[in-house]
């Protein structure tokens, strides 16, 4: 089995100033190619810590991928630490120097001493050319044939280097076997009940297949993983067969496969059936619209979203009856239904989805505490509505209410289409 | 110095199926209390890996915080591994059992064998009662007085346990000194030029203050950190004094302090000056509206957002001239200006901000390649517009265009107010 360690460098990670998303992306690339990540490590901008972590990681795993600490400024120390680790002098790389100059010129920036330092690389590394930034990637090998790869921490640059340089080289350098992960998405059964329902199936799983439960609000993902296989195709078929059996145990709770979000399932249904969508959001503030429009191809069905935060916007843009807002409150079944119907009417969409709730931390009352969210779906034939308490924390309420409302739409769509 | 290791457990992290946000949040809590996180580690659902990582972490640091692997199902092994590590038998905790039962009953779920297992805890731990979920936290101490704390992986439950149980106990258990981090936000100078401008100041920094550069599109954050100080107040003053000097070197490039995003700066200005805002988004699809409405108090100034994805929505909701859309295209200066002006008009807001661009991956042309984004700001006195190429990747384009447009609004607001 070819395995790997990921090391992310930066005090900003250790003090919690940023969330490390790079390592998840690197993990996906490696796993897809059959390389098993056994450990991820985040350490500070310290030469000693980088050296000792790298030493241990190269002893334990074939591949070590390091991100961060490659900028032009003094707090970035990864490059010089790596040069010392591999007992290497520095040299100027002309291609990198030319590239840095032309990138800076395009942005009207004067090339200075610090930029010059970005073109300096350790003699013993292969340069991984970074078309999208000024800091190059670097590839080192030790006497065991283990590989250490250093990449810039800017997510977009890292991503391109992984795709264009790192993965092709790793595939050429190592004989890789297959890691297969497949995920089935269940809905409507809490984790413990689901586990009970499928216990017999779980107990009968072949030894090489590892099952994982990934619970989130209203959804539990079940993942089957097989590591270090000779034959990817037969492994995939083996997993399919197990999922087939599972499907027959809980058919009504299977909503999709892989990491498709519920909005992706809606996206597929709307696209396939040439149906259109509009949104009218109050407390979710554009989150539902942004989840759909984040998906490529959404312009085929997404017509219009309204974030009607003020009462006047509810009235003037969506046509909600102002007296109803005054009588029942903006957070009410009457208003949320009129919002969905208004969004359908003004956009001409087939379906519309709406939310109105109290995201907090202020604005709650005894009758309508923070977390109270009304949601509605207007369809070509009817409007349905429901209230769900969506939590206690503002971002949690916004995210959960968005998820609940999209799920409500999904259930309606499924019923209408079949 | 009291230091800590964070260990997150779960194969889903190692294969990149989820992004670990828990460890950033735990880091912030610890740092705020003066506990220095020296390392973060993510490992798989493996008893051997948990045992060896925990052993090493307890040798190196005073505190180890572990999240994940505490669910009711068979793939969750943290609890039993911890019990073995601390040579402890299991016992049933009656308070936890009662709580699990009542939580499940409220959701209409039958209490089963697996739920019963959630009330079993190692005898040698102190239970950290989890009001928001079924898996309790656990507090262990070894013979050195080092502490290992196990928390559930569900972010919301982890967060409450950190606040309500873990931090008060850590503060009581250890004599803590202060870690102080302060961040100044600069805009308009790329990292290398900024570093050159402030080189003298940087070289003259006292030894105990550590400077970090945190670059992101158009913004570079400068962080000064001081660890393990006796006196938090005097350290804060020392950092203030340094930032004061820095301010005099680059006054025109300082846009704010701490991790305030540009939208938070806009939020503050609008709130203080009783001004209101509307948005009209095409390619950013609700992202700008959701960034504002994510902030508590935004309902004071955010009136209405429109996600006008279709041409008809641009015409019917925002009043954009349809002939102009046909002549110039939806992605054009003319249309984006009318969108901003339309959003102001229909909402009655003082300011409106609009975007129209090609988020890709399809829809680009030679004249208007993917990444082309027009944006406009309509103010009480004028409308300004600009085009910015915002990248090549859909999510990058959406995020950058949102950031650029919000920054454009920020600059207008600053000018109008002073």
Token pair of B190, please?
Answer: 């790329």
B217 pLDDT exceeds 70? no
The pLDDT-based confidence of A106 (bands split at 50, 70, 90) is confident
Report which listed range, A121-135, A142-156, A268-282, B16-30, is most confident. A268-282
Beta partners for residue B353, in sequence order = B279, B377
Q: Looking at B79-130, which runs of residues are DSSP E strands?
A: 90-92, 120-122, 126-128
B353 pLDDT exceeds 70? yes
B95 pLDDT exceeds 80? yes
Are B191 and A73 in contact (CB < 8 Å)? yes
In this prediction, residues A150-163 reach a mean pLDDT of 90
Beta partners for residue B5, in sequence order = B39, B64
B90 pLDDT exceeds 80? yes
By Cβ distance, the residue of B159, B202, B398 closest to A74 is: B202
B100 pLDDT exceeds 80? yes
DSSP class of residue B165 equals I
In this prediction, residues A302-308 reach a mean pLDDT of 97
By Cβ distance, the residue of A109, A259, A359 closest to B190 is: A109
- Residues of chain B positioned with their CB less than 8 A from the CB of A20: 19-20, 23-24
Lowest mean pLDDT across A69-78, A154-163, A217-226, A407-416: A69-78
B215 pLDDT exceeds 90? no
Burial class (CB in 10 A: 0-12, 13-18, 19+), B312: middle
The confidence score (pLDDT) of residue A75 equals 64
The pLDDT-based confidence of A417 (bands split at 50, 70, 90) is confident
The single residue listed with the structure tokens 């102190």 is B126
Please answer whether residues A10 and A44 qualify as being in contact, where contact means their C-beta atoms are separated by less than 8 angstroms: yes
Burial class (CB in 10 A: 0-12, 13-18, 19+), A327: exposed
The confidence score (pLDDT) of residue A156 equals 82
The pLDDT-based confidence of B261 (bands split at 50, 70, 90) is confident
Across the A:B interface, residue pairs with CB atoms under 8 Å apart total: 347
| Domain annotation for chain B: domains and CATH numbers | 3-173 (3.40.980.10), 178-257 (3.30.70.2860), 262-417 (3.90.950.20)
- Residues of chain B positioned with their CB less than 8 A from the CB of A112: 192-193, 196
Please answer whether residues A100 and A106 qualify as being in contact, where contact means their C-beta atoms are separated by less than 8 angstroms: no
Interface test with A, best of B223, B304, B344 (most A CBs within 10 A): B304
Render pLDDT for B225-249 as a digit per residue (tens, 0 to 9).
999 898 889 999 999 899 999 989 9
Instruction: Say how far residue A71 (Cα) sits from the centre of its chain.
Output: 25
The pLDDT-based confidence of A298 (bands split at 50, 70, 90) is very high
B348 pLDDT exceeds 70? yes
Please answer whether residues B397 and B371 qualify as being in contact, where contact means their C-beta atoms are separated by less than 8 angstroms: yes
- Kindly identify which residue of chain A lies nearest to residue B304, measuring between CA atoms: A308
Are A20 and B20 in contact (CB < 8 Å)? yes
The confidence score (pLDDT) of residue A389 equals 85
Q: Cα separation of A193 and B230, whole Å?
A: 52
Q: How far does B376 lie from chain A, in Å, by closest CA? A: 19
B218 pLDDT exceeds 80? no
CA-to-CA separations, A264 to A256, A257, A344, in angstroms, rounded: 10, 11, 21
The pLDDT-based confidence of B259 (bands split at 50, 70, 90) is low
The answer for residues whose C-beta is within 8 angstroms of residue A333's C-beta and 6 or more apart is: A374, A376, A385, A387
Are B191 and A11 in contact (CB < 8 Å)? no
- Residues of chain B positioned with their CB less than 8 A from the CB of A109: 190, 192-193
In this prediction, residues A318-327 reach a mean pLDDT of 97
Render pLDDT for B133-182 as a digit per residue (tens, 0 to 9).
888 999 999 999 999 999 998 888 899 999 999 999 999 999 999 899 88
Q: How far does B110 lie from chain A, in Å, by closest CA? A: 8
Q: Cα separation of A179 and A29, whole Å?
A: 11
The confidence score (pLDDT) of residue A411 equals 87
In this prediction, residues A222-242 reach a mean pLDDT of 91
Please answer whether residues B43 and B49 qualify as being in contact, where contact means their C-beta atoms are separated by less than 8 angstroms: yes
CA-to-CA separations, A76 to A43, A370, B41, B248, in angstroms, rounded: 13, 45, 22, 25
The confidence score (pLDDT) of residue A325 equals 97
In this prediction, residues B371-390 reach a mean pLDDT of 94
Render pLDDT for A169-212 as a digit per residue (tens, 0 to 9).
999 999 999 899 899 988 878 888 899 899 999 999 998 999 98
Question: What's the whole-number average pLDDT of chain B?
Answer: 91
By Cβ distance, the residue of B29, B109, B298 closest to A193 is: B109
B402 pLDDT exceeds 80? yes
Q: How far does A285 lie from chain B, in Å, by closest CA? A: 5
3-state secondary structure A253-278: HEEEECCCCHHHHHHHHHHHCCCCEE
The confidence score (pLDDT) of residue A188 equals 79
Are B292 and A298 in contact (CB < 8 Å)? no
Are B196 and A113 in contact (CB < 8 Å)? yes
A418 pLDDT exceeds 90? no
Are A287 and B290 in contact (CB < 8 Å)? yes
- Residues of chain B positioned with their CB less than 8 A from the CB of A309: 293, 298-299, 302-305
- Does A402 or B392 have the greater pLDDT score? A402
Q: How far does B78 lie from chain A, in Å, by closest CA? A: 14
Are B212 and A45 in contact (CB < 8 Å)? yes
The confidence score (pLDDT) of residue B111 equals 79
- Residues of chain B positioned with their CB less than 8 A from the CB of A396: 156
Are A298 and B312 in contact (CB < 8 Å)? no
Q: Cα separation of A329 and A368, whole Å?
A: 10
- Kindly identify which residue of chain A lies nearest to residue B396, measuring between CA atoms: A156
Interface test with B, best of A4, A7, A15 (most B CBs within 10 A): A15
A71 pLDDT exceeds 90? no
Are A292 and B312 in contact (CB < 8 Å)? no
The confidence score (pLDDT) of residue B110 equals 77
- Does B125 or A12 have the greater pLDDT score? B125
By Cβ distance, the residue of B29, B292, B361 closest to A296 is: B361
Q: What are phi and psi of A142, to 5 degrees?
A: -100, 180
A60 pLDDT exceeds 90? yes
Question: What's the whole-number average pLDDT of chain A?
Answer: 91
Please answer whether residues B41 and B233 qualify as being in contact, where contact means their C-beta atoms are separated by less than 8 angstroms: no
In chain B, % of residues over pLDDT 90: 67
Q: How far does A64 lie from chain B, in Å, by closest CA? A: 14
The confidence score (pLDDT) of residue B118 equals 84
- Apex B82 CA angle, B77 and B83, nearest 5: 105
Are B299 and A15 in contact (CB < 8 Å)? no
The pLDDT-based confidence of A217 (bands split at 50, 70, 90) is low
In this prediction, residues B121-135 reach a mean pLDDT of 91
In this prediction, residues A364-378 reach a mean pLDDT of 94
Q: How far does B142 lie from chain A, in Å, by closest CA? A: 24
The answer for residues whose C-beta is within 8 angstroms of residue B233's C-beta and 6 or more apart is: none
B159 SS3 class:
helix
């Amino acid at each position: 089995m070819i395995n790997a360690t990921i090391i992310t460098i930066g005090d900003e990670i250790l003090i919690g100033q940023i969330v490390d998303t790079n390592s998840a992306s690197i993990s996906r690339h490696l796993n897809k190619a059959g390389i098993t990540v056994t450990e991820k490590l985040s350490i500070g901008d310290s030469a000693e810590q980088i050296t000792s972590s790298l030493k241990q990681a190269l002893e334990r795993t074939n591949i070590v991928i390091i991100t961060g600490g490659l900028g032009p400024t003094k707090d970035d120390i990864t490059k010089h630490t790596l040069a010392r680790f591999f007992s290497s002098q520095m040299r100027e790389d002309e291609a990198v120097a030319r590239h840095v100059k032309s990138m800076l010129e395009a942005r009207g920036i004067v090339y200075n001493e610090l930029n010059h330092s970005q073109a300096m690389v350790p003699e013993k590394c292969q340069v991984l050319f970074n078309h999208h930034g000024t800091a190059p990637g670097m590839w080192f090998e030790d006497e065991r044939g283990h590989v250490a790869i250093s990449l810039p921490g800017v997510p977009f640059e890292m991503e391109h280097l992984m795709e264009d340089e790192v993965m092709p080289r790793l595939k050429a350098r190592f004989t890789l076997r297959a890691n297969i992960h497949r995920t089935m998405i269940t809905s409507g059964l809490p984790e413990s009940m689901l586990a009970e329902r499928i216990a017999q199936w779980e107990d009968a799983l072949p030894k090489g297949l590892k099952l994982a439960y990934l619970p989130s609000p209203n959804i539990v993902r079940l993942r089957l993983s097989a590591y270090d296989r000779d034959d990817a195709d037969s492994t995939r078929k083996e997993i399919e067969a197990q999922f087939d059996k599972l499907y027959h145990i809980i058919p009504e709770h299977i909503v999709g496969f892989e990491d498709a979000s519920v909005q992706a399932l809606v996206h597929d249904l709307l696209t396939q059936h040439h149906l259109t969508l509009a949104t009218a959001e109050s407390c979710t503030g554009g989150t539902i619209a942004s989840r759909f429009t984040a998906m490529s191809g959404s312009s085929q069905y997404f017509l219009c979203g309204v974030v009607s935060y003020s009462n006047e916007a509810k009235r003037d843009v969506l046509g909600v009856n102002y007296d109803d807002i005054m009588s029942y409150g903006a957070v009410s079944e009457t208003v949320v239904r009129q919002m969905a119907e208004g969004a359908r009417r003004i956009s001409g969409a087939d379906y519309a989805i709406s939310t109105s709730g109290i995201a907090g931390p202020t604005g709650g009352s005894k009758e309508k505490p923070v977390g109270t969210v009304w949601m509605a779906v207007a369809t070509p034939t009817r409007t349905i509505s429901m209230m769900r308490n969506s939590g206690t924390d503002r971002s949690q309420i916004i995210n959960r209410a968005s998820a609940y409302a999209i799920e409500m739409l999904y259930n309606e769509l499924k019923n209408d289409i079949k």
